[in-house]
A and B are shown apart, each in its own frame.
Chain A
Amino acid sequence: MSDELTPDEALDKIDYSPRSKGEPSNWLDTTKSVQIRPGMYCYAAKADSVNTLGLPNAREWNPLDDDWKLPEDWKEILHNGIKERLERFRTFKVFMDVCVRCGACADKCHFFLGTGDPKNMPVLRAELLRSIYRNDFTTAGKIMKKIPGGQRLLGARDLSLEALKEMWYYFFQCTECRRCSVFCPYGIDTAEITIMGRELLNLIGLNIDWIATPVSNCYQTGNHLGIQPHAFKDMLEFFVEDIEDITGVDCTPQFQKKGADILFITPSGDVFADPGTYTCQGYLILFKYLKEKYGLDVTWSTYASEGGNFGFFTSHETMKRLNAKMYAEAKRLGVKWILGGECGHMWRVIHQYMDTMNGPADFLEVPVNPITGTRFENAASTKMVHITEFTADLIKHGKLELDKSRNANRIMTFHDSCNPARGMGLLDEPRYVIENCCDNFYEMPPNTIREQTFCCGSGAGLNAGENMELRMAGALPRANALKHVHEKYGVNTLGTICAIDRAALSTLCEYWVPDVEVAGVHELVGNALILPGEKERTEDLRMEPLPGVEEE
């Protein structure tokens, strides 16, 4: 990361008035000069991964090269691809037609706010594709391209190689966070356009490796890191040892248990990388507690060991292929319903797509919390409940014994992850859980939370190492709000319910707000929960002294 900008240099670059940097007066002109700049893009997908999935045009290629090794008939493929999607998705068709370029969305994107690059204004990101659409698919476009200068008047352009490169560059500078859509008077969702754009790019083999390889791993081994079954088990057992050191209680989970009550699926990031691992320990502690106290039987699965769905960043089809495992495994194991861990886009897929793609899951029961009797009506069809809904319900009914003082060193704020916030509306449940596990909770400023929350800057598969400049720029708005509460209230922990956040926000904190740590909500639960038969705890899950302990 030595070639990376310092925070000060990054801040110097920010300027929200497009013309001041000598940009040509019409963005249609800039296509030829599209500069694919290291630090701002992810490496191209490896041929191997693309092959595993049977996706088109597997080859080694480099975005910095002139030749992208496209198929002969790439224009035709794209043209047909657009045509097909216009019929399949009303969103796409309507959104191509109705934007009035009012600019309300322009300064809502974290990538625009962090880079000042005018093509990161959501409207312009969409216009990149819309200009092709207008040219090739509308009556006005067909007439105007016959008139000299007509294309320019309409804002239309031909599908050229430069235009394609520009689309690739900017569709992979969108985290599909949907913040722009909240402000658009017509609900135009640029994330949806990005999704279509990426799907189209995929048709001619223009994927990035940080998406293609996790997808291929998920497909083969069940999780995005390619952790094999025995290794997955080992990793959880490693946590079990740690927990036993801390609490004196053995929290060994069950795997692939047929006839268990509940199948639990979480993003594999929780199993693999700090600080997600502490959240994972929190789950293990919770399930042990529920087993001991109420006899609840929860199983994990190594086959369906990934909640995160990188297919979502590839195409609807790939998303469906990966998502299918959840129902298949629930059916095979004969559980009653599925519980899902803390993950952002996993929940977008579960909430908005799963039941339609792979449902109805009529082999499962409508989720009922056997301990409280609560029927989760809002999950009556998918049969899948979010763990913060589940835990909030338990807390509300007084079923958990929590010792808040163990989190007394944490001065919390909460980062709403984009997907649950804007694709679901899961806002109060995690807050309720946090407030019951910890006394110190402060909100970030209102324009940066709940449905107006800012992306971590690394969603949608952009959590790679090589695009660090882009990630840090995109993370600026989030970090800026965090810094504010850090300075004002001494906030030292950023709670979140997304695995990508836990990875991405940790890096962003290091860069922008070095004194803040990131924690999953169930890490707090794991710390606070008083396990039956536990020894007196002196350490939290990070093996740091509990508040008050070090002085003794």
Chain B
Amino acid sequence: MNQRYLIPLTAVFLLFLMAYIGVEGLGLQVVFGVIFPYLAVLLFLIGFVKKVMGWAASAVPFRIPTTCGQQKSLPWIKQNTIDNPNTSAGVFVRMVFEIFLFRSLFRNTKAAFNRNADNRLSYSWEIFLWVGALAFHYAFLTVLLRHFRFFTAPVPSCIQFLEYIDGIVQLGLPGLFVSGPVLLLAALFLLGRRIFDAKVNYISQAADYFPLFLIIGIAATGIAMRYFTKVDIIGIKELTMGLATFSPVIPEGVGGLFYAHVFLVSVLFAYFPTSKLMHMGGVFLSPTRNMANNTRAKHHENPWNYDVDVHTYAQYEDHFRDKMIEAGLPVDKKE
């Protein structure tokens, strides 16, 4: 067994118990239902903005996009305008593909080595991580957006439409939202990769398992509430609307499971800015992807460019003049 995932697993479990017992046993509804959520959102916002501003404050001295296709050169050579853009429009398309479709990950291959048979190194297309990651992120996004029904009254039509689409597969009652189980399964898949893929296991730290367990916990408690324990939706909406309108109320009859769910979400929010989850903001700022490949065509300034010592031609000639003259090479100063 491995402490790198046992510790985070235990931590998430303890966090759950803390909230559950805190509410059920000690009656700390206000702490877990009001104070922590507010605090978490605050930490999230401040942390996120600080981090992004910190990145933005650093210079981008050189244009160093990773080019993944033919450059723009001679008019009759077909440029790959998306993977090797030389205009902002091209960069925009590249970034859209990157952010919404995880284009680079889509390229992923898996290497295998066949000792003895023919000693071949072979590469096969490895789509599962892409599928898993895409499912995970879109399911997460859908679930998140769906939750806006708890913070809005009346519920905007776009949210209602999203719910309609999400619930279009009807399986029993209440209507199943596909996003929930997909999120849970995708997170379990990502966890499985970390545990069973030897390479990924080797590079994984507790900090990689912790958010996964958190999200699994959140998804599981959410699903449990919706389909199995049947929580008091009216009461919950009262509480969430109270939070949204800054006039918090604690309704009767909402059980510990709900508070535990909210607490895990709060922990995720608070944890977000200091963790690798910040890739969400970073993907927009990655200089290898978000710059045009036009460095030879356009001049770009380096904000901290400074003069350096160089070995000038004059010094060079001084050093080698006799030899140059003897060899018949032209010189600036003859003697």
Residues on A close to B: CB < 8 A? Answer: 11-12, 14, 16-20, 23, 25-27, 54, 86-95, 97-104, 106-108, 113, 118, 121, 123-124, 127, 138-140, 152-155, 178, 181-189, 192, 219-222, 228-230, 233-234, 255-258, 302-303, 316-317, 320-321, 324-325, 328-329, 332, 350-353, 355-357, 359-360, 374, 376-382, 384, 389, 392-393, 396, 421-429, 432, 445, 447-448, 450-452, 476-477, 480-481, 484
Contact A88 B202 (CB under 8 A): no
Contact of B308 among A234, A324, A392 (CB under 8 A): A324
Contact B70 A428 (CB under 8 A): yes
Contact B74 A480 (CB under 8 A): no
The 5 closest A-B pairs by CB, nearest first: A425-B71, A98-B282, A230-B327, A155-B205, A17-B198
**Which A residues touch B61, using CB under 8 A?**
88-89, 316, 356
Contact of A94 among B285, B301, B313 (CB under 8 A): B285
A-B contact pairs, 12 of them (CB 8 A): A19-B202, A87-B58, A101-B204, A107-B110, A124-B202, A185-B104, A187-B287, A321-B310, A325-B311, A378-B294, A381-B296, A427-B71
Q: How many B residues touch A, CB cutoff 8 Å?
A: 105
**Which A residues touch B320, using CB under 8 A?**
221, 228-230
| Nearest opposing residue in chain B for A118, CB measure | B202
Contact A425 B296 (CB under 8 A): no
Secondary structure call for the B interface: loop
Q: In the bound complex, what is the Cα–Cα distance between A187 and B112 (angstroms)?
A: 24
Contact B207 A154 (CB under 8 A): yes
Q: In the bound complex, what is the Cα–Cα distance between A389 and B312 (angstroms)?
A: 30
What number of residue pairs across chains A and B have CB atoms under 8 A from each other?
Answer: 334
Contact B302 A356 (CB under 8 A): yes
The answer to whether B158 has its CB under 8 Å from any CB of chain A is: no
Known contacts A104-B129, A374-B74; is-contact A422 B68 (Cβ 8 Å): yes
Contact B76 A98 (CB under 8 A): no
**Which B residues touch A152, using CB under 8 A?**
206
CB distance from A389 to the nearest CB of B (A): 5
Q: Which of B108-135 contact A (CB under 8 A)?
A: 108-113, 115, 119-121, 123, 129, 133
Known contacts A91-B288, A229-B323, A425-B84; is-contact A378 B296 (Cβ 8 Å): yes
The answer to whether B233 has its CB under 8 Å from any CB of chain A is: no
Contact B301 A189 (CB under 8 A): no
CB distance from B114 to the nearest CB of A (A): 10
Contact B64 A359 (CB under 8 A): no
Contact B208 A101 (CB under 8 A): yes
Contact B67 A451 (CB under 8 A): yes
**Which B residues touch A351, using CB under 8 A?**
295-296
Interface string of B299-319 (1 = CB under 8 A from A): 111101100111111001101
A-B contact sample (11 more), CB < 8 A, given A90-B60, A101-B276, A447-B123: A16-B113, A54-B309, A98-B279, A103-B199, A139-B274, A185-B102, A185-B105, A233-B327, A316-B61, A381-B299, A451-B67
**Which B residues touch A12, using CB under 8 A?**
115
| Nearest opposing residue in chain B for A87, CB measure | B58
Contact B200 A106 (CB under 8 A): yes
Known contacts A91-B60, A153-B207; is-contact A11 B115 (Cβ 8 Å): yes
Among the 9-residue stretches B21-29, B49-57, B148-156, B219-227, the one with 4 or more Cβ atoms under 8 Å from chain A is: B49-57
Q: In the bound complex, what is the Cα–Cα distance between A98 and B133 (angstroms)?
A: 16
Contact B293 A182 (CB under 8 A): no
Contact A229 B327 (CB under 8 A): yes
Known contacts A18-B198, A181-B288; is-contact A220 B108 (Cβ 8 Å): no
Contact A426 B71 (CB under 8 A): yes
The answer to whether B324 has its CB under 8 Å from any CB of chain A is: yes
Contact A432 B115 (CB under 8 A): no
**Which A residues touch B171, using CB under 8 A?**
none
**Which A residues touch B319, using CB under 8 A?**
220
The answer to whether B142 has its CB under 8 Å from any CB of chain A is: no
Contact B289 A187 (CB under 8 A): yes
Known contacts A16-B199, A89-B59; is-contact A184 B104 (Cβ 8 Å): yes
Q: In the bound complex, what is the Cα–Cα distance between A231 and B87 (angstroms)?
A: 45
CB distance from B301 to the nearest CB of A (A): 7
**Which A residues touch B237, using CB under 8 A?**
none
Known contacts A107-B199, A426-B71, A429-B77; is-contact A153 B7 (Cβ 8 Å): yes
Contact A106 B199 (CB under 8 A): yes
Q: In the bound complex, what is the Cα–Cα distance between A16 and B67 (angstroms)?
A: 28
| Nearest opposing residue in chain A for B105, CB measure | A185
CB distance from A282 to the nearest CB of B (A): 20
Known contacts A103-B199, A103-B200; is-contact A90 B327 (Cβ 8 Å): no
The answer to whether B197 has its CB under 8 Å from any CB of chain A is: yes
Q: In the bound complex, what is the Cα–Cα distance between A121 and B320 (angstroms)?
A: 47
Q: In the bound complex, what is the Cα–Cα distance between A12 and B276 (angstroms)?
A: 37
